[in-house]
Every structure is written in C-alpha cells, then in structure tokens.
Amino acid sequence: MAIHFEQDGHVALVTIDRYERRNAIDPEHAEALTAAWLRVRDDPEIRVAIVTGVKDAFCSGGDLKSLVGPIVERLGTGEAWTEEENAKRPSFTLRRLNIFKPIIAAVNGCCIAGGMELLGGTDIRLASADATFAVAEPRHGLIASGGTTARLPRQLGWPAAMEILLTARTFSAERALQLGLLNEVCAPGDLLHRARAWAEDIARLAPLAVQGTKRSALLGWRAGSVDEALSIEDAVFREVFASEDAREGTRAFAEKRKPVWRGQ
C-alpha cells in the first residue's frame, strides 16, 4: 500500500497502490501522490512522467470515509473554510501545481471521481480497452472539486463535458476516445508498453522546448484573452530561443547529426 515512484532514464513512473480500496485516495496517499508530483516538477533529470494504478484499477476517487467525509461534516456545520486552508489541500489531482513537464496517464481500469480529476491534469491519455470512466460525485451529493468542472469544458467543449458532468454515467474507453478525453485505446497487456513508447518519444526531444511548449499552452489556456496568451507565448519564445539547446538544435540540423540536449 503506497505510491510507488520509479525512474528509468528521463522517465518517471508513478503507480497508485491501494488496491483493497480500488486505489481510492485517502489522506496519506493524497500527500504521497502530491509529493511524487513535486519530485517530478523539481528533478531536472525527469523529463516525462507516467501515472497508472496497480492491477485493474487506475483510481476510484477520493476515499469517501477518510478523505471526503471529514470535509463534508465540517462544512455541514457552517464552519468557515479559508483560502489558506484551500491552498493547503493536497494537489494529488495536479491542481495548481504548475508542472510543465508532460504527464501521461495509463488508465488500466476504473477511473472514477477523483480518478477523473487526476486524468484531467494529465497531457497524454491512454487507456486499456476495458477501462471505465465516470464523474460520480453527483451520485453522492457532491461536485467534482479537484479541477474537473474547471478543466473538462475547456478541454472537451461544452456538450461533451456536460454529458460527463451532469449525468454521472459510467462510460467506456471507446466512448471516452470519441469524446476526446483519450488519445489512444489499447489492449490491456500493451498499456504500459504504449505509455512508455509515448514517453520515450517525448523524452528524446529538447527538454526546454517541450516544457516551454507546455508552459505556453497551459498558461495561455488560462489567460483572459488571446492577446494575453500571445504575450505569454512571446515571453516563452524569447527564453527558449536564447537557450544553449536552441543553438545546439540548429547547429545539429546544419551538420546533419543528432543533437545532444543539455537542458540549458
């Protein structure tokens, strides 16, 4: 029972291991998963991360008894919930962490409630053909408050997002692909292999360029206007084009050789 962290070259693999609760996240695992994301963010050797779950479960959400229940009981008494307390909530769903390294989800089974919140914070999403999905919070009198109501309409468009958010239906990997929630559906036995292949493809690219691309896209997506997004892109452009890697990339092209990236 843990959050496992493995590193192979420039790729990190984060695995949720609480199968007795279908990989539901309790406070201990929320803190450990948040710590794993901070490690991905802060370790310069890590260029890409993959997140998955053990056996046939990705993540069945926040544990209703130990993680969600105490918050419901407290707010039900009318006690104030401060912005400071909100900022201290574990960010296991990749909420407000500003990680500009690509994160790949390998959804190997049920992806429900908090699992969907976590999925929404990733960049590339693969799922096994037998995976299932649901924003299940309304079944329990709750809303998806780990980023899903903010992200899904922006990521999928309004009709697809509302189908998922308002019906609380369980749907298949094939339907998730149709809605634009996934990049690829594959055989269960191929899932991690395919996720690693995607990760290696990205890890071979110039790390500052990849991270700059995600930073420009993510911050631009949050911007209030296209003009603001273009200003963000301009700032990132100047930073990346001034890097050693940019000079190495253009020289390597001219010299017809493979570039050697230093992340500088």
Which residues are annotated as catalytic?
117, 137
Token pair, residue 117, equals 């919140």
Distance CA 38, CA 158 (A): 31
Q: Which residues of 62-88 are buried (b: 16+ CB within 10 A; e: fewer)?
A: bbbebbbeeeeeeeeeeeeeeeeeeee
Distance CA 170, CA 90 (A): 26
Token pair, residue 202, equals 């990205």
Distance CA 9, CA 13 (A): 11
Whole-number Cα distances in Å, 195 to 111, 124, 153, 191: 17, 9, 25, 6
Name the β-bridge partners of 112. Answer: 134
* Cβ-Cβ contacts under 8 Å for 54 (sequence gap 6 or more): 15, 16, 17, 19, 23
